Amino acid sequence: MRKVPFSKTIFINKDDFDENPPKGYYRLTPDQPVRLKHAYIITCKEIIKDNDGKIIEIKATYHPNSKSGNDTSGIKVKSAIQWVDANEAKKVEVRLYDRLYSSEAPEGLEDLNCDSLKIIKDALIEPAVIAEKPDVRFQFEREGYFYADPVDYTDENPVFNKIVSLKDSWGKNKKSTQNNRRRNSQENRKNESKKVQIEGVVTPMSEAEQALFDKYTSELGLNTTVADILARDTMLSSFYEEALLELHNPLNLANIVANDVARELKEKGKAELKFTASQVAQLVAMIDNETISTKIAKQVFEQMVQSGDNPKQIVEAKGLIQISDPAQILPIIEEVIDKNPENVEKYKAGNNKLFGFFVGQVLKATGGKANPKVVNELVTKKLHS
């Protein structure tokens, strides 16, 4: 659960407003209200332009009784858009990585992708992103998953690297007309029958889905994004409810169900899964009691997907139990420090960015099994001793 600041001045993506919208445009227009994601519905009242006719400001009215999850306004909208509070948003540097080569089968340096790295210096994000731990991965909606740079990140100058894109740049090309013609009528009918969620369009919830959404947000404290995913999917919500009977940890269970379990259910039905809701609850319990780290839990889950084995058995068989004993971790930290005297001097001279380097080297040396919290504490003590 996080607090999202909201004031009378906000920023939205310029693509989320159109003065003369084409058919099928469901975002904000002079005549069409829109929901600010996880917040309120707004209605455009006035458009402000500069001398060149470029839109520089939109004056809008927000509807206080339309708060997401508790909407009594009766206003119907078809879209929810991204936004940040103008007064509280934080500026960050964002590094967007694409494929190193512009060809799927590169033959030489001429195939290097000159745009494999794009840097945005003044991106705006919610302040909660800065307040969270720097080793947390974030999903910047409609963009991808991002990770705080372990070397260049500071609270004063945050830097985030894209690690997973939400869109595949290979997908829109490389499809020939001949391949398109080969699609059989059965596949076309199957695709047409699917319920498609168009980007930017919010399909209204049924009464049962809304009831679940309200329960998940109000009673269990889930954020609206995760609650929305679970409430709209019968198999996911059923799996989640079953796991809750084994372990009452609504937040951590919801995250793994809405992400990892959802990925598997996209490819197969619940009956085809080799793992059970009870096993997922056991996996989360092992994270809670620090038997394994979150990173190791990902490996264990993948093994559960393949074999259906109990998570405890997998951890014991593969020797994945998290190392939390300082007596085991300290010698590794000392070795890392001894091997990097120049970086130690730079750190003590004021280059605090290198702290992440030392932590990363220790985690690497232990195969990710060292307890990150313990490592952070011990590295801090060693570097300041």
For the stretch 303-346, pLDDT in tens is 999 999 999 999 989 888 888 889 999 999 999 999 999 888 88
Domain regions of the chain by residue span: 10-85, 90-165, 207-318, 326-383
Q: Are 6 and 39 in contact (CB under 8 A)?
A: yes
Position 193 confidence tier, pLDDT thresholds 50, 70, 90: very low
To the nearest 10°, report the CA torsion of 190, 196, 198, 204: 160
- The Cα 382–Cα 385 span in angstroms is 5
Query: Across all residues in the chain, what is the average pLDDT?
Result: 83
pLDDT band at 61 (very low <50, low <70, confident <90, very high): very high
| pLDDT at residue 136, as a whole number | 61
Percent pLDDT > 70 in the chain is 87
- Residue range 163-183: average pLDDT? 48
- State mean pLDDT over 153-180: 61
pLDDT confidence of residue 189 = 40
**pLDDT-based confidence at 185, cuts 50/70/90?**
very low
- Residue 319's closest CA among 292, 339, 338? 292
Q: How far apart are CA 171 and CA 168, in angstroms?
A: 5
Q: pLDDT: is 45 or 179 the higher one?
A: 45
The token pair that represents 200 in the structure block: 């930017």
Q: Which residue has the higher pLDDT, 279 or 117?
A: 279
Q: Domain 90-165 sits in which CATH superfamily?
A: Ribosomal Protein L25; Chain P (2.40.240.10)
Polymer length of the chain: 385
- Say if CB 327 and CB 352 are below 8 A apart: no
Instruction: Tell me the one-letter amino acid at 271.
Output: A
Q: Which carries the bigger pLDDT value, residue 11 or residue 138?
A: 11
How is residue 349 annotated by DSSP?
Answer: T
10-85: CATH superfamily: Ribosomal Protein L25; Chain P (2.40.240.10)
Distance CA 185, CA 92 (A): 48
Flag whether pLDDT at 282 surpasses 50.
yes
Identical fold for domains 90-165 and 326-383, yes or no, is no
Tokens of 347: 């750190």
127 and 84 Cβ atoms separated by less than 8 Å: no
Instruction: Give 36-55 pLDDT, tens digit per residue.
Output: 988 999 999 999 998 888 99
State residue 190's pLDDT score: 41
CATH 3.40.50.300 fits 326-383, yes or no: no
